Amino acid sequence: MTILLNLERVSAGYGSFAALFNVSLDVKNGETVGVVGANGAGKTTLLRVISGLLPPRSGRIDFDGESLAGAPAYRVVAAGIAHVPENRRLFPRLTVEENLRMGAYLPAARKAFAERAAWVYELFPQLQARRRQLAGTLSGGEQQMVAIGRALMTKPKLLLMDEPSAGLAPLVVEQVFALVRRIRAEGFTVLLVEQNVRQVLDVVDRAYLLETGRVKLAGTATALKQNPFVQQSYLGL
């Protein structure tokens, strides 16, 4: 598999606060890769840097053969990266379909709106029945479907997912990870950030463990599940 996203020694922060220190990772075409760690480990900052929402202080970010380090967010989206933000960030007073339309703002996506919306409804049949319903009135799991569907409207090469299970009840968390499995089965390349380590290691190919802004461990999901440090610190074994 060819490498789609490659980060080399990326550091970033906010003002005088440093949040990432020399982080290196890669995502290959067709992979689902997890970035796990406790709250405050730097996971969301990492996605913000990749998405162009926060400029890196140093390091390289290469995507599909193109340097994106410090590129503005609109250029990152145009290059083929879509971001499902933490807490979904829907437009609650817009309908499901209007939220999908907000995701289809690139010229190519606007032209193909009907086709891509139909494809999202095929992926998430529940949304078809609720397409005229206000997004703010949906259940947590359905809102996550809309957030993912909105990101998929650009047919991205890479889907970034930030804490998709955050703030959701355990039953809904199960539904959300079922969505991740469905997206993976569709052949999408996914970089998934989560603090729910046990659930993530069940759905990804490989994972990186972040602690205080640094990569502490990296390996296949199976290897990390069997790692004594991960078992003791994150899996409660």
- Does the residue 22 lie in any domain? no
* Residue 27: closest CA among 168, 196, 208, 195: 208
Per-residue pLDDT for 139 more than 80? Answer: yes
Describe the crossing of helices 113-123 and 96-103 by its angle, rounded to 10 degrees: 120
Q: Can you give the pLDDT at residue 36?
A: 94
Per-residue pLDDT for 163 more than 70? Answer: yes
Find the mean pLDDT for residues 55-62.
96
pLDDT category, 63, cuts 50, 70, 90? Answer: very high
133's tokens: 């319903």
* pTM of the shown model: 0.91
pLDDT category, 24, cuts 50, 70, 90? Answer: very high
% the chain with pLDDT above 70: 100
- Does the residue 15 lie in any domain? no
Q: Can you give the pLDDT at residue 86?
A: 77
Query: pLDDT (tens digit, 9 = 90+) per residue, 104-133?
Result: 877 877 788 888 899 889 888 889 999 999
- Does the residue 13 lie in any domain? no
- Does the residue 18 lie in any domain? no
Question: Rounded to whole angstroms, how far apart are CA atoms 80 and 29?
Answer: 12
Element (H, E) at 197: helix 197-201
Chain CA centroid to CA 190, Å: 6
Describe the crossing of helices 96-103 and 140-152 by its angle, rounded to 10 degrees: 30
Question: Rounded to whole angstroms, how far apart are CA atoms 154 and 80?
Answer: 8
* Residue 23: closest CA among 8, 4, 40, 3: 8
Query: pLDDT (tens digit, 9 = 90+) per residue, 182-192?
Result: 888 888 999 99
- Does the residue 23 lie in any domain? no
- Does the residue 219 lie in any domain? yes
Exposed, middle or buried, 50 (CB in 10 Å: 0-12/13-18/19+)? buried
Lowest average pLDDT, out of 69-83, 141-155, 167-181, goes to: 167-181
Range of the domain at 150: 30-55+82-233
Query: pLDDT (tens digit, 9 = 90+) per residue, 197-232?
Result: 999 999 999 999 999 999 999 999 999 999 999 999
Looking at residue 201, which CATH number applies to its domain? 3.40.50.300
> Does 227 or 165 have the greater pLDDT score?
227
- Does the residue 129 lie in any domain? yes
Q: Can you give the pLDDT at residue 223?
A: 96
Number of domains in the chain: 1
pLDDT category, 237, cuts 50, 70, 90? Answer: low
51's tokens: 């998405």
Cβ atoms of 189 and 81 within 8 Å: the answer is no
- Does the residue 17 lie in any domain? no
Q: Can you give the pLDDT at residue 85?
A: 83
Find the mean pLDDT for residues 142-155.
89
185 φ/ψ angles, rounded to the nearest 5 degrees: -65, -25
Q: Can you give the pLDDT at residue 227?
A: 95
